[in-house]
Amino acid sequence: MTKKVGHVVTRRSRILGDAPIDIPVAEDLETVDGIPTRDRDVSFFSREYPLENMAIEESASAEWSREVRNTATPDAREFFAEHEARMEPIVEWVRTSGDLLPTAEPTGEDVTEVIRQKALELGYGEVGFTRNDRHYVYQSRKPEMKGSLPNAICLALEQDYRKTQTIPSMEAEDTHFGTYFDQGPLTVALVDYIHSLGYQCQVSGPTWHYGPMIPLFVEAGLGQLGANGQLLSPHFGSRARLQIIYTDANITQDKPIDYGIHQFCQECKVCVDRCPGRALMPDKVWYRGVEKNKLVFKRCRPVMARYEGCGICMKVCPIQKYGMKPVMEHYVESGKVLGKGTEALEGYTLSDKGHFGPGELPTFDRDFFDMPHGRADDWLMIEFREKLMESKGGDLEKGQMWAEFKDKLEDSLENLAASVDGGMDRGV
């Protein structure tokens, strides 16, 4: 059934210098620019329940995940050790980037388009500008964030298409984490350029972040939040690694856009239906002042840990596989979701369970999803207390238990400096 077009979004081409593209948005997919938001609720939760880095907030499951991953996928141990070693100088530069000084005096001119052009020339696939929204800063990072940088430059670097379609696999992990590594020199070059314009910068990502990035990308008009919890951008959906440069550069902020994604995901739900862990909620809820499909963390991380980072919600997204323009054109022409119900879009293979086509899902034992939650130090204290209560030994045994607890706690604090899930973030 043909759909009436409500509006058309014109975006620059995927390739620098090519003609812009027009994305038709069906009338029945129109909602709001960006994402439905209750500003008072966002402010309330930011003030009373500030966001925290998952590497800290869920450090217990992060340590558990690291051990399980290395056991389930032996190749991963060497791969991630090598990746972290390669990333260390990049992470150190990111952490100290705010201390670097401009190399010229600013002219006062608006530098939005020259920065955008430079970023695209370097190879970034999406570039947008918005305000530095302090609602989305981790509590533990606030003391380190410069207070004089009111703007944010949002940058997305596309990862390899072919390798991404092999999810879940070590080949897909290679492009996933390889793209983090590629971000390093590109960011250095862009920051050097902004410094030459006379402005200061502070970088968030790769691997070391000041806060969640997707809210700012949505405000910058670079896409909308998908049901899979990822940014769906026009050219490559969620097949990209994101980072932000906070700056005092004289820029004009972009505006959020209604690409039709907020409602389209409710019509599609392929990621919801294909998730091996059943970790994606089919219906939207209001969470921290935003209407979204909520992820069930405790059903997601156990699958990620055992199956090469999983990522099936990325693989089966039609926006990722086909691009937003073809998907939205198909919806306008037919009222259907491009690729839905087909093996080409929905099929995937889990290493120890085989292949699953449309309508087929794996099953897991109940204990598959058992993992510790919360902060590692809290979890260790609970474990220590339970052992003490169960102990029938004397002071010697309790002393040994105390020594064991101290050793585990020291190891846990050291692990905060390790990357979560191989590179998405780190605690300190």
Cα–Cα distances in angstroms (integers) from residue 379 to residues 60, 71, 275, 367, in the given order: 7, 22, 28, 18
Per-residue pLDDT reduced to its tens digit, 191-228: 999 999 999 999 999 999 999 999 999 999 999 999 99
**Best-predicted range by mean pLDDT among 19-28, 371-380, 402-411?**
19-28
What per-residue confidence (pLDDT) applies to 81? 86
For residue 20, whether the previous peptide bond is cis, meaning omega lies within 30 degrees of 0, is no
Secondary element (H or E) of residue 243: strand 240-247
The pLDDT tens digits of the residues spanning 91-132 come to: 999 999 999 999 999 999 999 999 999 999 999 999 999 999
Reduced 3-state DSSP string for 323-386: CHHHHHHHHHHHCCCCCCCCHHHHCEEECCCEEECCCCCCCCCHHHHCCCCCCHHHHHHHHHHH
- What pLDDT, on the 0 to 100 scale, is given for residue 385? 80
Asked which of 71-75, 135-139, 330-334 is least confident by mean pLDDT, the reply is 71-75
Q: In whole angstroms, how far apart are CA 288 and each of 44, 81, 291, 394?
A: 8, 36, 9, 49
Residue 50, judged by CB atoms within 10 A of its CB (0-12, 13-18, 19+), counts as middle
pLDDT-above-70 percentage for the chain: 95
Give the separation between CA 106 and CA 200, rounded to whole angstroms.
Answer: 10
Choose among 340, 338, 328: nearest CA to 6.
328
pLDDT tens digits, residue range 45-74?
999 999 999 888 998 999 899 889 888 877
Q: Count CA within 13 A, CB hemisphere, residue 343.
A: 4
On the question of pLDDT at 86 being above 70, the answer is yes
pLDDT of amino acid 191? 99
Residue 425 CA to residue 57 CA, distance in Å, equals 12
CB 254 within 8 Å of CB 130: yes
What integer pLDDT is reported at residue 419 of this predicted model? 64
Distance CA 106, CA 111 (A): 10
Structure tokens at 258: 């209604």
> 383-419 pLDDT, tens per residue?
778 777 777 767 666 677 777 777 777 777 676 666 6
Residue 284 has pLDDT above 90, yes or no: yes
Mean pLDDT of the chain: 93
The pTM is what? 0.93
Q: What does the pLDDT average to over 365-391?
A: 84
Using the predicted structure, report yes or no on whether residue 375 has a pLDDT greater than 90. Answer: no
Q: Which residues contact 30 (CB under 8 A, 6 or more apart)?
A: 6, 7, 258, 260, 263
- Closest of 323, 320, 339, 315 to residue 165, by C-alpha: 315
Residue from 236, 234, 238 nearest 221 by CA: 234
Q: Which residues contact 116 (CB under 8 A, 6 or more apart)?
A: 127, 129
pLDDT at residue 401, rounded to an integer:
72
